[in-house]
Structure 1
Amino acid sequence: MTMPEAIDAVRQAFVGLAAEEFDLPPRQAFSDSRSLVMAVHHRPTKSTAVKVISVEVERDPVITGTVVYSHPDGQFVADAVPLTTLRTGAVVGVATDLLADEHASHLALLGAGAQAADQVRAVHAVRPLKKLVVFNRNAKKAEALLESLRDELPGTVMDTAANADEAVEDADVVCCATASTMPLFRCESLKERVHVNAIGSYRPVMRELPQELLATAGVVVVDQVEAALSEAGEIIRAVQSGVLRLESLVELGAALGNPPLREGRTVFKSVGVAVQDWAVARLKA
């Protein structure tokens, strides 16, 4: 399937989530979030997706696991790795299309791991890229990522950055895809009009975004408030410290139904929810 197909499927799934079409229990985490179980049931189609994954940050690939999609006519089993990178990219595509300036064309990508390529593909699908800058602590991985994407992005200027602040300073869109436990960049390094996606942190001890960004952003969108408050380290810290009001968080499904203004700095924070897995798996059913 193509990235635009996945983006459309995930967009409709979040609209359905806002319309209460899904039974979506909280994600189950074991062994300090090294083992995760995610399940969802779509009542209109009587279909269910269940994903079981193992996460080891020092391993390559970081994620291993299986997705089972079942519906009244049967079921299938899929490798969780490509499905997870695709559905995570797709939700970033949905958020970027919703929140980024319509003329955005310069992407800064922080992180060059397994999720990185689909982050680029997703942003490019909704905001064709003229420039891509990548920062990774291992510069060779950043260079290898760019080389792997050259044929897909003809005409796009590509470069690596020496640090995260340098990478983001002129970007229209920023994507964070790391396992960091500390903010990756300073808020003042960003342009006044920029959209920032963060998909790397999924545990309370992890965070990629500076609190100042969350405190001053025009809108902070999350995939699901309940999930963000239990798993997204930067959201948890910002709410607990009082720099981000809980009631100001907007769920993606609600934002799709009532789009916020595209102005100033906007943020999308995702920890990943099972409706994304369901949406992409359903395309293969």
Structure 2
Amino acid sequence: MRIFTAEDVRRTVPMPAAIDAVREAFRELRAGAFVLPPRQVFGDGAVLVMSAYHAPTRTAVVKKIGIDLSRDPAIRATLIWTGSEQIVADGTSITTLRTGAVVGVATDLLAPRDAARLTLIGTGAQAADQVRAVLAVRPIAETTVCGRDPDRAKRLAGSLAEEFPEVKFAVSADLPEAIATPDIVCCATSTSTPLFAAEDLPERVHVNAIGSFRPIMRELPHDLLTTASVVLVDQVEAALEESGEVIEAVDSGALPRESLVELGEALETPPQPTGRTVFKSVGVGPQDWSVANLLSQS
């Protein structure tokens, strides 16, 4: 058995490698290479169990996640990967890394090629990897960090500025102002009510949302989903089980289910986005498998 701590995961799998691995995993998911059981949910979402089996290599991954929104980090997880050997790894670091990576894949598909301005909403454990992923695929020059706690936002911006000295980082407490001009917006919060109004966004912008993971949670406004030129999801079935904003829009009839585009499909036939675009992720097992697979090869 090999054991990987959070530090081991970070040292072994840099963000660009994670993006490439997650991209390939979604291509394989589209091609039918994975057996993907439904996510198990216990205690009204307090404990989640995710798994995936990769048929071509006969390898599997299982991740147990404990979620408590009152603590920091809210997510604590352990991952087990089985193949020719067994790996036990810190699932918290893998979760933030692979969630950032899938945002990198989606941003690379949908965001303007010349995107230079990013706004990040949220300062929790997932936030930094959202920035790392976007910076890996777009020439971002300016990033604005918004959060409920100004001190946390300043600390996060300061830490990221040290990591990416070529990027200008700023902190804003005025959310409508912060989302008025960016090319890309990343939402990583646990809110149950939409963070902003669609009318506050530029006419040309890509929005990623990864924070809400229960049907009662919503980061995005209804009219953004119903007017976006592309609404991309990691998996339609998962989104309709767990994404509050997608469930509401589809159930209302304003967003036809068939208009949702799965990431694997978009990689096969890239969409031609115009105006505003959205990527909503709730996470699927092949993302975890892809990072664990890289660990197994190290």
Give the TM-score normalised by structure 1.
Answer: 0.98
Per the alignment, residue 82 of structure 2 pairs with 70
Q: Aligned equivalents of 1:60 and 1:270: distance in 2?
A: 21
Q: Is the aligned partner of 1:51 residue 2:63?
A: yes
Q: Does 1:6 align with 2:18?
A: yes
| Equivalent of residue 260 in structure 2, options 249, 252, 264 | 249
Question: Does the aligned pair in 1 maintain the 2:230–2:273 contact within 8 Å?
Answer: no
Query: SS of the residue aligned with 1:151?
Result: helix
**Counterparts of 1:127 and 1:141, CA distance in 2:** 25
Aligned counterparts, 1:274-285, within 5 A? 274-285=285-296
1:216 corresponds in structure 2 to 227
Deviation at 1:155? 2.6
Q: Name the CA distance, whole Å, in 2 between partners of 1:155 and 1:85.
A: 23
Q: Secondary structure of the equivalent of 2:169?
A: strand
Q: SS of the residue aligned with 2:62?
A: strand
Tell me how far 1:242 sits from its aligned partner: 1.5
Deviation at 1:240? Answer: 0.9
CA shift digits 1:72-93 (9 cap, x unpaired) = x111100111110000000000
Contact kept in structure 1, 2:161 and 2:168, CA below 8 Å: no
Equivalent residue of 2:162, what SS? coil
Give the alignment's Cα RMSD to 1 decimal: 0.7
How many Å apart are 1:282 and its aligned residue? 0.5
Cα-to-partner distance string for 1:168-227 (whole Å, 9 max, x where unaligned): 111100000000000001101111110000000000000100011001000100000000
- 1:190 is aligned to 201
User: 1:5 & 1:93 partners in 2: Cα distance?
Assistant: 11
The yes-or-no answer on 1:200 pairing with 2:211 is: yes
Partners of 1:268 and 1:64 in 2: how far apart?
Answer: 24
Matches within 5 A, 1:1-285: 1-71=13-83, 73-285=84-296
Could you say what secondary structure the match of 2:249 adopts? helix
Larger mean CA deviation between 258-267 and 157-166 belongs to 157-166
* CA-CA distance at 1:164 after TM superposition: 2.4
For residue 240 of structure 1, what is the amino acid of its counterpart? D
Q: Which amino acid aligns with 2:63?
A: K
CA distance in 2, matches of 1:28, 1:203: 13
**Equivalenced residues, count:** 284
CA distance in 2, matches of 1:83, 1:163: 32
Q: Distance in 2 between matches of 1:65 and 1:199?
A: 17
Q: Which runs of 5+ in 1 are unaligned?
A: none
* In 1, Cα distance between equivalents of 2:185 and 2:218: 15
In the superposition, the TM-score normalised over structure 2's length comes to 0.94
Partner Cα separation in structure 2 for residue 29 and residue 165 of structure 1: 35
- The one-letter code matched in structure 1 to 2:243 is A
C-alpha distance in 2 between matches for 1:179 and 1:9: 27
- Find the residue that maps to 2:277 and give its secondary structure: strand
Aligned to 2:9: none
**Distance in 2 of aligned mates of 1:164 and 1:206:** 19
CA distance in 1, matches of 2:32, 2:107: 23
What is the letter of the counterpart of residue 73 of structure 2?
P
